[in-house]
Amino acid sequence: MNKIWIGNGQLVLPDKIVPGGSVLLEGKKIAAVNVPCPPDARRVDVDGSYIMAGFVDIHVHGGGDSDFMDEDASAFPTIAKAHCAHGTTALCPTTMTCADSLLEKTIDLFLEADKEPENGAELLGLHLEGPYFSAASKGAQPIGEQRIPEREDLERILRRAKGSILRWDAAPELPNMELFAKVMAENGVLASLAHSAATAPEALRAFDWGFSHVTHFYNACTTFHKKNGLVYSGIVEATYLRDDVTIELIGDGRHIPRESMLLALRIKGADSIALITDAMRAAGVNCEKSVLGARTTGVPVVIRDDVAQLPDLSSYAGSIATMDRCLRTAHVQYGIPLPEVSRMLSLTPARLCGVSDRKGSLEKGKDGDVVVLSGDFQVQQVYARGDRCVFET
């Protein structure tokens, strides 16, 4: 069985950094951590570089000029490879608000896709972002008439997906949302609050129903505001009051200022926060114009100030980030200690996806997902499921 020893590096564990650390890969798994190089292993001396667990991105729409909703089977390996080149070794393909026919086609293509593409991130399961959102907090979501969930519609989509949906986002102030949360719980799907105009009491009620996560926290989320002449707290305050609710933060350095990320970290802690890209197809591509969603029917966007925006600049429209950029934002720019950043990039999102028994940290028996980064946190090498990934330059 193929053995690879990656050592003489700064080994980043969930709680500390080990100088001169190493990880031994055997087959698809981590065989040992911090051991001498066996005589029968291929030795990879990283000369002081950082050795980290592969990143897990639970909210990603596209990359490499492809979107998961392109109705094109090749989009799945293309996006998986584009993000793997930047250290992401597992991800959740994310949809957006669309016609049911397009959603069903995307589900069908996911079911047919190779979940472990060569030189690519593993496809863990689907994340459905929409269509049950508030028009008042739609952001770049193409929301026309308001849609209300019905059990028949929810169960039809869930049956079609054959257990592959890990998470479904919705605005809990809409009608039938207690039913939505119940159906999600019945099917083992994470119910997440998103693109919502809810007040704090409405959000707290949703958490009691079973919503347990908040999608791109701070973005398309309410906070302290006036409504009908009265002052209300919003989703942000309600989330901070509930220790059992997890959040995700877009780590591109554009969507969330330093102070807001540090506040979230102080209140929620790294074990309740996943850093995400929310990347669209322009991630990893040098372009000035692009499309969010399906190439032929999606939302036109422009790339300005290193972020995707609607052409009138009224709203951001996803990011063009990769997870290594999220690392540099959180650690280098915002000053968060590296072990905490690693947990937010890898272990917490793996746990939210139900795969922390095999992903998210450098531990014996887990998948051989490893990222080697230079002193300035540029990706040098990526190992996915024990194999060194090779990327086109």
Phi then psi for residue 208, to 5 deg, are -65, -30
Token digits of residue 280: 């669209």
We report the CATH number of the domain holding residue 280 as 3.20.20.140
Tens digits of pLDDT across the chain (393 residues): 789 999 999 999 999 999 999 999 999 999 999 999 999 999 999 999 999 999 999 999 999 999 999 999 999 999 999 999 999 999 999 999 888 999 999 999 999 999 999 999 999 999 999 899 876 666 656 666 568 999 999 999 999 999 999 999 999 999 999 999 999 999 999 999 999 999 999 999 999 999 999 999 999 999 988 878 888 899 999 999 999 999 999 999 999 999 999 999 999 999 999 999 999 999 999 999 999 989 988 889 999 999 999 999 988 888 999 999 999 999 999 999 999 999 999 999 999 999 999 999 999 999 999 999 999 999 999 999 999 998 765
Q: In a 3-state reduction of DSSP, which class is residue 186?
A: helix
Q: Does a structural domain hold residue 11?
A: yes
- Count Cβ atoms within 10 A of the Cβ of residue 346 and give its class: 0-12 exposed, 13-18 middle, 19 or more buried: buried
Is 23 inside any structural domain? yes
- Residue 118 sits in the same domain as residue 184: yes
SS3 of 206, please? helix
DSSP structural state of residue 14: S
Q: Is residue 76 part of a domain?
A: yes
Cβ atoms within 10 Å, residue 230: 8
370 within a domain of the structure (yes/no): no
Do 345 and 219 share a structural domain? Answer: yes
Residue-range definition of the domain harbouring residue 233:
55-359
Instruction: Give the count of domains, the chain.
Output: 2
193 and 72 co-located in one domain: yes
- Answer yes or no: do 282 and 295 share one domain: yes
The separation between CA 302 and the C-alpha centre of its own chain, rounded to angstroms, equals: 22
Q: Are residues 42 and 136 in the same domain?
A: no
Name the pairing type of β-strands 387-388 and 379-384.
Answer: antiparallel
| Domain membership flag for residue 189 | yes
Angle, CA 138 vertex, CA 259 and CA 251 arms, to 5°: 30
CA distance 4 to 26: 7
Confidence (pLDDT) at 189: 98
Q: Kindly state whether residues 122 and 265 are assigned to the same domain.
A: yes
What confidence score (pLDDT) does residue 198 get? 95
Q: Give Cβ neighbours of residue 64 (< 8 Å, ≥ 6 apart).
A: 78, 79, 81, 82, 281, 283, 284, 285
Q: Could you tell me if residue 367 is inside a domain?
A: no
Residue 98 domain-assigned (yes or no):
yes
Amino acid (1-letter code) at residue 189: V
Do 171 and 318 reside in the same domain of the chain? yes
Tell me which DSSP letter residue 82 carries: H
- pLDDT on residue 136: 63
pLDDT at 330: 98
Would you say how long the chain is, in residues?
393
Measured CA to CA in angstroms, residue 349 lies from 78, 86, 359 at distances of 22, 17, 9
Contact by Cβ (8 Å): 383, 376: no
How much is the pTM? 0.96
CA 48 – CA 380 distance, rounded (Å):
12
> How far is 391 from 393, CA to CA, in rounded Å?
6
The answer to the question of residue 366 being in a domain is: no
Task: Name every residue whose Cβ is closer than 8 Å to that of residue 219 and which is 6 or more positions away in sequence.
Answer: 139, 250, 255, 256, 316
Q: Cα angle vertex 373, ends 125, 38, to 5°? A: 90
Does 284 lie in the same domain as 381?
A: no
Residue 91 and residue 80: Cα distance in Å, rounded? 8
DSSP labels, 296-362: TTSEEEEEETTEEE-TTSSSB--B---HHHHHIIIIIIT---HHHHHIIIIIHHHHHTT-TTTSSS-
Helix (H, G, I), strand (E, B) or coil at 138: coil
Q: Are residues 255 and 320 in the same domain?
A: yes
pLDDT attached to residue 139: 61
Question: Which residues have C-beta within 8 Å of that of residue 125, sequence separation ≥ 6?
Answer: 92, 164, 165, 166, 167, 353
Name the DSSP class of 60. Answer: E
Within this chain, do residues 182 and 296 fall inside the same structural domain, yes or no?
A: yes
- Give the domain CATH number at 380: 2.30.40.10
For residue 129, give both structure tokens. 């972002």
38/18 Cα distance (integer angstroms): 20
The reply to whether 218 and 343 lie within a common domain is yes
Q: 64: left (phi > 0), else alpha (psi -120 to 50), else beta?
A: left
212 and 312 part of one domain: yes
In angstroms, the CA 270 to CA 109 distance is 34
